[in-house]
Amino acid sequence: MRRSTFRRRTAAAVVAVTTAALALTTAPGTATASGDDRPHRWTGAWGAAHQAPVDVPGWPRTWSVDGFTDQSVRQVVRVAAAGERLRIRVSNEYGARPLRVVAATVGRTGDGAAVRPGTVRTVRFGGDDGIVVPPGRELASDPVGLPVRALERLTVTLHFAGPTGPVGFHPEGLTTTYRATGDRTRDTSGGPFAGETAYSYYALSGIDVTGAEARGTVVAFGDSITDGYGSTPDADNRYPDQLAERLTEARSRLSVVNSGISGNRLLSDSPCFGVKAKDRFGHDVLNRPGVRKAVVLLGVNDIGAAGLADFGCGVAPAVTASQLIDGHKDLIRQARARGVEVVGATVLPFKGTGDGYYTETKDRVRQEVNHWIRTSGAYDAVADTDLALRDPADPARLLPAYDSGDHLHPNDAGLDALAAAVLPHVTGD
């Protein structure tokens, strides 16, 4: 999504990829590295939607473009569901050549880059310590015997012998990722990882759990508002995180996976902000293991960025309300064909953003789209997030108490209010 500041952005990427490339990606709910997960019923407990590796001029460089050579990448995640066993998923969806992971471990998170002693488990792939993931594919590991609780933090460490070449990634992780030289997959100390950090996820695209507790996945699908921009880094305050907390408090057995990509648009690709949502919906939502419900919060970038040179990432095309509505209808058709319930969330207000992102004409498009979402009956349910977060004194603006400061992205309190607005429409096991 459009940025008014880059204080937390350490990466941005994506070159256009074709729908055919997405079709090559292995459905993560149905395949493992060994090709057989039939004894297990998997639920997505954490996830990140990936993009192609790119460095944008004037923005901080990412690790994704140069890739890794004899380096270990340590990544911290918080799982949204409990399970008796887990597996990780490694993505080379946007890679141009095979991606080799030499070794991998998972353990319970300590302080910073540290892992709690006695909890490190080797992750294997088809019985092997490593795996080679072909371009355009995503593969899951063998089951790992590490019971986890809902909302527990886990640390995954991947060792790449390399040189890997460019590696696909999720640019706005909002959780610190660490890098060290050599194979540090079994180190419990965070010391070797002290020198290099980032706020992106690399190659790691998901963690799934199996067991009696987890009974299905809710996928939050959207742009930077779903991705969590505007929330406090390293605090897990994105709206899907807060939705997961509310579901856990309600003793629901539904998990939540975040498939937001900052800057993403419903109708058009971006060289910086990913494949258009219409084309990535199948992989990033419908192929998530155990998916039962999806929440769609999309459209503000199509509206606001229209006609603008978005940070040197090309001029976004102008869109009409009718075109956006057709895009929403396409997502609904895809979900219905797979038996997935889909919740439509109204587009949040964004008055006050500058540089032509907000105009009254653009806001009329937003209001027309929201009217259709509210009244058409096309979605299985509607979360009126616009109503929940707007300023009653000026409905085209976010309520000041919910504004991160750029008049576009909610802060922690606003994202909690967004989760509260979504909650009634996804509950029910």
Widest CA span of the chain, in angstroms? 61
Tell the burial category of 416 from Cβ atoms under 10 Å away from its Cβ (0-12, 13-18, 19+). Answer: buried
CA distances from 139 to 25, 92, 95 (A): 9, 9, 13
Question: Is residue 196 within 8 Å of 105, Cβ to Cβ?
Answer: no
Q: What is the pLDDT of residue 313?
A: 80
- Which residues does 103 contact at the CB level (< 8 Å), separation at least 6? 122, 129, 130, 158, 159, 183, 185
- Yes or no: say if 99 and 115 are a contact pair by the CB < 8 Å rule: no
* Residue the block writes with tokens 């992102």: 357
Mean pLDDT of 47-67: 86
Q: How far apart are CA 141 and CA 26, in angstroms?
A: 13
Tell me: pLDDT of 46 over 70: yes
Cβ-proximal residues to 359 (8 Å cutoff; 6+ apart), any chain: none
Q: How far is CA 375 from CA 327, 363, 379, 380, in A?
A: 17, 18, 10, 12
Higher pLDDT, 262 or 55: 262
pLDDT at 54: 81
Whether residue 6 has pLDDT greater than 70:
no
Residue 419: predicted pLDDT: 98
**Average pLDDT of span 133-139:** 98
pTM score > 0.85 for this model?
Answer: yes
pLDDT digit string, tens, across residues 223-271: 999 999 999 999 999 999 999 999 999 999 999 999 999 999 999 999 8
Interatomic CA distance for residues 114 and 105, integer angstroms? 13
- Summarize the confidence of residues 96-113 as an average pLDDT: 98
In the predicted model, what is the mean pLDDT of residues 106-134? 98
- 139 has pLDDT over 90: yes
Distance set, CA 313 to CA 9, 263, 294, 359, 362 (Å): 16, 11, 29, 21, 20
Mean pLDDT lowest among 214-218, 263-267, 332-336, 351-355: 214-218
Buried b (16+ CB within 10 A) or exposed e, 362-393: bbebbbebbebbeeeebbbebbbbbebbbbee
333 DSSP 8-state letter: H
| Residue 213 pLDDT exceeds 60 | yes
- Cβ–Cβ under 8 Å, residues 177 and 198: yes
**Owner of token pair 């919060």:** 297
32 falls in which pLDDT band (50, 70, 90)?
low
pLDDT at 34 > cutoff 80 = no
d(CA 154, CA 373): 37
The Cα–Cα gap between 205 and 211 comes to: 21
Calpha distance 254→80 (Å, rounded): 8
Banded model confidence at residue 57, pLDDT cuts 50, 70, 90: low
CA angle 200, 202, 205 (to 5 degrees): 105
